[in-house]
Structure 1
C-alpha cells in the first residue's frame, strides 16, 4: 500500500520539490548570516484558549532546547556559530490571527522557520506560505497537500499513529469487542474519527453507534457520556479530544459508573484526572504520548537526545505542565538544526532539501520515511514507529512501539475508505 515513490526513492513530485521551493522562496529576502548573528525561529501556535495545551507546553520545551544548544555554542553554519532565539505569536487557534502572526514573524521578525500546531489555523496561513516560500511545520499531517511544498509534518503523524493504540489493545485484550466514540467536530476531531474507525474495523472491534460529534463550545458532558454508555460498550474512545474535554468526560465516566476500557489520543495532565476520579478508574487507560522519564526512551534507536534529562529539566522548570507536545516542537528543532548544519544554510529552501534528502529521516522514536503521497498527496510526513502508552499504578508506561507503515501496508484501504467518508482526503479538503 505504500506509494512507489516511497519504496523506490522520491516520486517525480518529490524530486522537483527543491526546485519548487527555490522558486517560491523568491518572496523571502535571502541574506547571508553575519558572523555571530542570532537565528530566529517562529512559534505560531495557541498559547491561550482551549487548545493551549498543544501549544504553550511546546514553547516551554523549545526554550529548554535552545538554552542547551546555545550553551554548547549554537548552530554551526559553515565556519560560524549562531545562537537560536524563538519568537512566539499566540494565534489563539484562530485562522485570521494565525495569518497575521505568520506575516509578522516573516516580514517583521525575520524568522527562518515557523512551527505550528496546524489544524483549523493552517488555511489562514497557507497563502502566506505559498507567497513567501517560508518553511513551516505542523503537528497535523492532515494539513498536508501538494498545494504547499514547504509544509512538513516531521514529528507528530496525527492522526495516523492512533492505529497503533488500537492494534495493541486488540492484541492484548482480545475479549473487548465493542466500542463507542466521541469527538469535537473540527479539523482535529474528524480525521481522528476516521482513523479510529479504520483501526477498530481492522481489529474486528464493532462500533455500536455512529461517532458522537459535539460542538467545540460544549461545556456540559454529562448527556454525552450518558449517550455513550447507553449501549454498554467494552471500549470508550475519546478520539483526539482536547484536554479541556478529556478531563470532564473522564469525570463523567467515573461518576456514571463506567468500569470498561478507555482509549484516547492523549491523556495530558493525567495526574489531575486521577485526582478527580481514582487510580483504579484510570488503570489501563491507553494513549499515545509517554512521559520522557520512561526507560524505553534510552534505547539505541531513540533519536531524542537525553530524553530522561530533558523530562527532568522540564518538570523542574515547569512543574505540572508536561503534556503531549512538550517534546514535539523541540524534536522538530533537532531535525531542523541537523538539516541546516548539513546544508550550511538556514534559508528555507536549503533546509527543506537537506531535511528530506534520500526520503529518510531521524524521527524521535527511530528511523523513519518521508511518506504520505497516497494519503496527503505529498511525501512530507515523517512516518515510522510510535509508542503505545498505558497508565499503570498511576504512571504512564510505554508498553511497546508499533510500526505505522506495517499497519498501513495491511489496512491502508480501510483508512482511505473512512477518511473519504469524512471528506478528509487531501483532494476532498482542497
Structure 2
C-alpha cells in the first residue's frame, strides 16, 4: 500500500483532532466510520460538509448511549482523510481505511475520479460507500455503492423547467464546467436538458481545477453572446471568481449554478454586488430551523460556513446507523438489505427514498427535496422547491 502523505494523514488525525469523536466509556466496542473527501483546496466546503455531517450524526448516537447492534453497544468513531480531489490520494486513503483502520463503511468522496478509482476495491472488499459523486458510472455494477444526493441526471429537468418558466428572457445559454469526469458528465446532461427544453447552447467550456484566472475563458463565453451562463458543478469559490471576472468584462446577463451551490463562498470570492441575482439549488433552506440547528452543531467541528451537503451526509449517516441497528450485525449484505427496507426514510427536511433502478440498474440513488435559491444582498433566499422522483 503506498504511504499517505503527511498532509493526508493530518487531515484524518491531528488537523481534525479537536473534532475527533473518541470512544465513550459506556460503549462495549468501537465502530469506526470512514470519511473520505476534499478537506483542503477549492472543493473543501464539500469535503468538510461530508465530515461535519458524519460527526454530527455520530455525536448524537454517542450522546444517547451508543449504537445498539444486536446485543452490543458501539461508540462511533470518525476516521477522516483528505483526497485533495485527486484519485491517487483517494486510493491511498481507502487502502489505509480498510487495511489499517478496519473501516467497513465510508462516507464520501465527492470527486467522481476519486470514487471511480476506489470503487473496484470497495466492491471487492464489500465496504459500503456513500458518495455524492456525480458521474453516471458511479452506480454501474455497484452492489455496495450508494449515492446520497441528486445529480444533474435527477434534477436537470426540474431546474431547466424553472429557468424556462421564471426567466423567459433566456434563450441562449453558455455553460462552463471542470475539465474532469464530474464536469464532463454533468455538462453533457445539462446541455441535453437545455436543448430538449428549446434553449440554444451557444458555448460549452471547461477549466482546470486549480485555475484562478478565467479572463481568456470568459472572453470566449461572452463572444457567444449568451443570455445566461450555467456554472454547473464549478466549485463555489471558483464560481465567484468567474462571475466577478465576467462582470468586470461587462457581462450583465444571468448566472445559474445548478450543482454544488454555496452562497457564502460565492459571495466571498465574487463580491455581493457581482453575484446579486445568481440562482442555484440547495438541499435545505438556510432560513429554516433545521439549518440553524445543524449550523450550531457543525461549528463544534469546523470553522468554515456550513454548506447544504452537510444535510446529505448527516442524513446518510443516520440512514446507515438505522440500517445497522435493524440488521443487528455489521455484515455488509445484511446492512444492504436493511438499507433497501428503509425507503421512505424521514430525512431532516423531508422524505427520502431510494430509486434509480431504471437509470442505473440498481436502486441506490437517494432522492431528496430540492430548494431553489436566489442571492439577494449577499444572502440566499428560497424562491421555490421541487420534489424529485
| TM-score with structure 2 setting the length | 0.84
Within 1, Cα distance between the matches of 2:237 and 2:282? 17
Deviation at 1:42, TM superposition (A): 0.7
Within 2, Cα distance between the matches of 1:126 and 1:178? 38
The answer on 1:404 being equivalent to 2:382 is: no
More relative contact order in 1 or in 2 (CA 8 Å, sep 6+)?
Answer: 1
**Larger deviation: 322-331 or 348-357?**
322-331
Partner of 1:282: 275
**Cα 1:81/1:155, change in 2 over 3 Å:** farther
Instruction: Give the unaligned 5+ runs of structure 1.
Output: 1-33, 299-305, 406-430
Deviation at 1:151, TM superposition (A): 0.5
The answer on 1:52 being equivalent to 2:44 is: yes
Deviation at 1:121, TM superposition (A): 0.9
The answer on 1:189 being equivalent to 2:173 is: no
From 366, 380, 393, the equivalent of 2:377 is 393
**Cα RMSD between the aligned structures?**
2.6
Partner of 2:167: 173
From 210, 219, 238, the equivalent of 2:212 is 219
The answer to whether the Cα contact below 8 Å between 1:139 and 1:158 also exists between their aligned partners in 2 is no
Partner of 2:364: 380
The answer on 1:237 being equivalent to 2:230 is: yes
Partner of 2:240: 247
Within 2, Cα distance between the matches of 1:403 and 1:198? 21
Partner of 1:74: 66
The count of aligned residue pairs is: 362
From 303, 315, 339, the equivalent of 1:331 is 315
The answer to whether the Cα contact below 8 Å between 1:144 and 1:377 also exists between their aligned partners in 2 is no
The answer to whether the Cα contact below 8 Å between 2:236 and 2:266 also exists between their aligned partners in 1 is no
| TM-score with structure 1 setting the length | 0.76
Partner of 2:199: 205
From 84, 89, 97, the equivalent of 2:89 is 97
**Equivalent residue runs for 1:339-350 within 5 Å:** 339-350=323-334
CA deviation string 1:268-325 (max 9, x = no partner) = 5534543555534322211112665423xx6xxxxxxx44311233247534432242
1:240 partner SS:
coil
Deviation at 1:157, TM superposition (A): 3.5
Within 2, Cα distance between the matches of 1:55 and 1:289? 16
Deviation at 1:60, TM superposition (A): 2.7
**Cα 1:186/1:78, change in 2 over 3 Å:** same
Within 1, Cα distance between the matches of 2:376 and 2:27? 51
Within 2, Cα distance between the matches of 1:286 and 1:237? 10
Instruction: Give the unaligned 5+ runs of structure 2.
Output: 1-25
Partner of 1:127: 120
Deviation at 1:250, TM superposition (A): 1.3
